[in-house]
Every structure is written in C-alpha cells, then in structure tokens.
Amino acid sequence: MLRPKLLSSISSINNFSRFRSMSFQKEIHSIKTIETIPSFRSWRRQFMKQDKQVAFVPTMGSLHEGHLKLVKLASEHCPIVVVSIFVNPAQFAPNEDLDKYPRTLSHDLELLRSLNCVDTVFLPKVKDIYPSGIPLEIEKQKGTFVEVKGKSHQLEGTTRPSFFRGVSTVVAKLFNIVQPDHVFFGQKDAQQCIVIRSLISDLHFPIEMHVGPTKREHDGLAMSSRNQYLTPEMRNYAITLYNALTTIKDELDKGKRNREILLSKGYEIVEEATQKVKEKNLGFELKLDYLSIADPTTLDELQEIEEGKGAIISGALFVGRTRVLDNLLFNCTL
C-alpha cells in the first residue's frame, strides 16, 4: 500500500506532466497561412467532416488591439478561428487612399501568433477575389457585385457612395469561401455592422453575427488603422469627434430628446476645436463631415428620440486629410 506522502508525490508528478503537456501544446500552436481559394476550401473541408464550428474575423490588416479583441472573442465561441487579411480595392474611390493604406503583414502575423488562438490566416490575392479585375471607377467595373439597398446611401454612404457596395461584395465573397458559422465585426463601424446583418439575412447565409465593442485609446479615441496617419498635433485634436458624441449622449442621458438641441451641443464642441486649430496655425484643418442621431434599425435620422427608444449617435471628422469615424449607442445594441 502506498503511503500518503508517496501518493501526493505521484499526484504532483502527474499534474506537472499534464501542465508541461498543456504548455507545450500552447507553445507549438502555429498559424497556417493560405493564399489560394482552392487550398483554403480543401483545408476548411476537414472541419465540416469533424462537425467543428468555425469563427471568422475579416480584416484589411494593419491590426491593432481592437482587431485582437475581436479575434479573442471569436476564440471564445468556436474551436477554429480564421482571420482574413485583404485590402479590398472595391471599397475605395479613385481619390481615396488605396495605395497608401498601411500594409503590415509581418507584424500582423506576429500579433496573431501571440494570441495563440488563430488557426489560419487567409491571404487572398486581388486577382482571385475579382477575376474580372477591379478598376476603382465603378463605370469601368465588370463582374458580380452586391448592394444592400436602403442602408448604404446615408451617413458613410453620403461621403463614400461606393463604399458599402465594395464592402458588401467582398464580405459576400469571403463568406462563400470561408463558410463560417460565426462572424465578428467591430462596433466602431456601426453602419457597416447593420449593412452586413442585412446581407446575412437577405442572402440567407447560415451565419451568426457578433459585434464587439469599440476599443479605445486612453483618452477615448477609437482605435483605427488610419490613426497612424495622424501627427502628434493632429492626434491631440482627433479626440474632438469623440468629445462631441459623448456630449450628445450625456444630454440624452439627462432626458433631452430634440434633435436640433442635441446636435447643437456636438456642433459647439467641434466648432471650438476648429477655431483653436485655426488660431494656432497648426498647418492642418478640422472639417466636420457629419453628426448623426439615427434609428438603430433603419438608419433614418431621428427628429425626436421617443422615450424607451434607442439611437446611434455617430459622426465623421476630417483631421487634415485623415477621416476619423466614431459612434456611441444609446439604449440599443447592434
């Protein structure tokens, strides 16, 4: 008969062995990168046979903590996690920053490896996603495109009329290739989330969509890949939009419901910052694109926010040439 101390020692050894095994498994977790559609489909097929659910986080790369939070959230829902990195030409207008958009693939892969939960990174080529080519001028484009009518023309769609056509098209293509069970998007792009929900529903994709909260810097600025365009001085004023939105939300929390009154508070914040930038002659300008208080389902602008109803408070602000986008939710979820 084994003595208690010996039993304890054996138990400790077994526990240590299991711990080493678990640690080793984590240590050797590697990320597979796949560039072609046939190769990805071949890899994906094994999990259909195993009946394992797949989570998908589509990105354009230049990853930051906001993306990583989404990936972590995805890993909590499914045993298999796929991240795509693809700078989608179809969502850029000819006068926008497609060529300058930050591409940091090596660093992105390093960040994803550090999470220790990503199974595959899909890195498709433009020629494979758009076999007919993809000139930025819509009138020159050939092939199949997806539009979500009624939720794409307002807000972001006013300034960027072809943006959601490009987003909807590439997302539909990626859904078809990846065939995920769950997909994950960030709240920072609230209108995009609403457009994609409609796309999933209207095209009958068997996918459950999840929206992760906006990840912010210490002062509240929403994390964005384009924030790296900002100089330190611009960065100081990029927070203006967030300040305007929080002011509007504070007024809503106090019980004010009239659109003009609410927006006027936000306009005051933006105007004050705009004047300061001019007075200091900082070499750039602040230019408000829009402030919005919209219905969370239809995206129609609200004149009065009825008691018990919700709203999306959103806006866009040019800081120099960099466009800062943000939103806050009032009594609603995406």
pLDDT over 60 (residue 2): no
State both tokens at 210. 């999840």
Active site residue 64: no
| pLDDT band at 277; cut points 50, 70, 90 | very high
pLDDT over 70 (residue 19): no
Per-residue pLDDT, 30: 78
Q: Tell me how far apart the alpha carbons of residues 216 and 234 are, in angstroms, rounded to a whole number.
A: 17
In this prediction, residues 76-82 reach a mean pLDDT of 97
Q: Tell me how far apart the alpha carbons of residues 196 and 174 are, in angstroms, rounded to a whole number.
A: 12
Per-residue pLDDT tens over the stretch 166-185: 999 999 999 999 999 999 99
Q: Percent of the chain scored above 70 by pLDDT?
A: 91
pLDDT over 50 (residue 333): yes
Question: Phi, psi at residue 5, to the nearest 5°?
Answer: -65, -40
| 275 φ/ψ sector (left φ>0, alpha ψ -120 to 50, else beta) | alpha
- From the list 67, 77, 107, 182, the catalytic residue is 67
Per-residue pLDDT tens over the stretch 100-139: 999 999 999 999 999 999 999 999 999 999 999 999 999 9
Per-residue pLDDT, 6: 38
State both tokens at 326. 């943000």
Per-residue pLDDT, 1: 42
Q: What is the mean pLDDT of the chain?
A: 92
Q: Tell me how far apart the alpha carbons of residues 123 and 108 are, in angstroms, rounded to a whole number.
A: 12
Our CA dihedral for 29, 35, 36, 38, rounded to 10 degrees, sits at 0
In this prediction, residues 290-303 reach a mean pLDDT of 97
**Region of poorest pLDDT, from 25-39, 251-265, 276-290, 317-331:** 25-39
**Beta carbons of 134 and 90 less than 8 angstroms apart:** yes
Question: Phi, psi at residue 299, to the nearest 5°?
Answer: 70, 15
pLDDT over 60 (residue 22): no
pLDDT over 60 (residue 26): no
Domains of the chain: 4-212 (3.40.50.620), 225-330 (3.30.1300.10)
Q: Tell me how far apart the alpha carbons of residues 68 and 185 are, in angstroms, rounded to a whole number.
A: 11
**Beta carbons of 210 and 73 less than 8 angstroms apart:** yes
Per-residue pLDDT, 29: 58
In this prediction, residues 88-99 reach a mean pLDDT of 96
Question: Phi, psi at residue 164, to the nearest 5°?
Answer: -75, -25
